[in-house]
Amino acid sequence: MIDVIDPATGEVAGRVPEGTAADVDRAVAAATAAFPGWAATSPAERAAVVGRVAEGLSKRTEEIATTITGEMGAPITLSRWAQAAFPVKVAESFAGLAEDFAWTEEIGGSLVVREPIGVVGAITPWNFPLQQAVSKVAPALVAGDTVVLKPSEIAPLTAGILAEVAAEAGLPPGVFNVVYGTGAVTGEAISAHPGIDMVSFTGSTRAGRMIAAAAAKTVKRVTLELGGKSANVILDDADLAQAVALGMGNAFVNGGQVCGAWPRMLVPASLHDEIVRMAVAAAEEYTVGDPTDEATRVGPMSSEAHRQRVDGYIRRGVADGATLVYGGPGRPDGLPSGAYVRPTIFANVDPESVIAQEEIFGPVLTIIPYAGDDHAVRIANGTMYGLTGAVFGGRERALGVARRLRTGQVDVNGAQWNPLAPFGGYKQSGNGREFGRQGLEEYLETKSIQR
């Protein structure tokens, strides 16, 4: 068995089986046997099941929120409005796509048919455990695929809730299967399995490279949503109060443990000191503490090992000479135990430094001065990542800068999340897209019938 550890207390929050390659074999066999029947089910019926999954998850919001807070430390308020609520919106969005989706298309004398790809292996991370699972399972089910899901061993508990809800929604046996275990064992087995037709993975770039290499042996389709080091570009005509407030929120949300976070704040050199003062003042509002307390805005890191990793980056920033203006290494005052770090801001950061280039995955903001829009774009594009980003400024100018960013998603002046818009990365932030029509298409094969 695998113990699931509450990072706030160090106590066991739950246990799941430690799966093996043989367990993956059994899950793939079940998914293979169920595929013909599920693929033959009409898209409308498949969408109806996914719609009922959304309803079932909605009814268990508090249980889901409490479970996620206990297994990976997200503050309970965040767990309610994001960790538990976003999966419902994602499932609803995919259920709603089926009716108008172009399952068949006439192109000249050819009939182009979009068909289920087969058995999908889904490997998901710990930071948004249920959302990431639903973001893969929902489109796969609407497409007519069957699924083998391996959740992160750090935060696996809501995968069981999802399986219960799916069964109650009327999903036939074998269509959705959960295999627990470690990445080195069950994750590797899924990636290389000849009976799996597609792997969809969300996690670190390092792990994504290994999964792609293992999957290449059977030439299966692979979609990867990987790391990020996204830039929040604040132009000199921006509403600074809005840009800093939203920028801080997107740097520290979920303890900074978000692939699409904005850990780099790019600011005009002439406004650097003013924006630093504003950022420090905003950071004071991010209370660190017990994630079950509704006043807490930053909980523990997901594990003690991850706490040490984030703290190591903070120490590296200090050692490399970045200007520490808030937080710093070590545990927060009054929290001698638990996987807590101090939310930290570095100013006047060298864009080529380690803390500005590598994904820290914690509440660490680097403020980087620039000279002119062209310079800002070069800095923003100057990492190996390209997942998300933001631009604040006059609308047309900000849109112009957004178009120049080599990244898969850019928010302009605080635009709201849209579950129907595609999400995914450029460069080493991955390939493929999630959400919306493009996210559904990832789980389909295209056949041309010449007539």
In this structure, the answer to whether residues 80 and 189 fall within a common structural domain is yes
CATH code (residue 312): 3.40.309.10
So what's the pLDDT on residue 186?
98
So what's the pLDDT on residue 319?
97
Q: What DSSP string runs through 153-169?
A: SSS-HHHHHHHHHHHHT
Q: Is 351 helix (H, G, I), strand (E, B) or coil?
A: coil
| Local mean pLDDT, 10-residue blocks, the chain (451 residues) | 97 97 98 98 98 98 98 97 97 95 95 98 98 98 98 98 98 98 97 98 96 96 97 98 97 97 98 98 97 97 97 98 97 96 98 98 98 98 98 98 98 94 97 97 97 89
- Domain-embedded: residue 419: no
- Domain-embedded: residue 182: yes
Identify the CA nearest to 93 among candidates 61, 63, 131.
131
Q: Is the pTM of this model over 0.85?
A: yes
In this structure, the answer to whether residues 10 and 155 fall within a common structural domain is yes
- Domain-embedded: residue 421: no
Amino acid at 386: G
In this structure, the answer to whether residues 175 and 273 fall within a common structural domain is no
In this structure, the answer to whether residues 272 and 297 fall within a common structural domain is yes
C-alpha 219/C-alpha 401 separation (Å) is 38
In this structure, the answer to whether residues 272 and 361 fall within a common structural domain is yes
105 is catalytic: no
In this structure, the answer to whether residues 190 and 264 fall within a common structural domain is no
Domain span at 193: 2-226+427-450
- Domain-embedded: residue 146: yes
In this structure, the answer to whether residues 188 and 280 fall within a common structural domain is no
In this structure, the answer to whether residues 263 and 202 fall within a common structural domain is no
DSSP class of residue 423? B
So what's the pLDDT on residue 384?
98
In this structure, the answer to whether residues 391 and 300 fall within a common structural domain is yes
Q: Is 54 helix (H, G, I), strand (E, B) or coil?
A: helix
In this structure, the answer to whether residues 212 and 253 fall within a common structural domain is no
- Domain-embedded: residue 418: no
In this structure, the answer to whether residues 181 and 257 fall within a common structural domain is no
Give me the catalytic one of 225, 359, 434, 442: 225
- Domain-embedded: residue 163: yes
Q: How many domains does the chain have?
A: 2
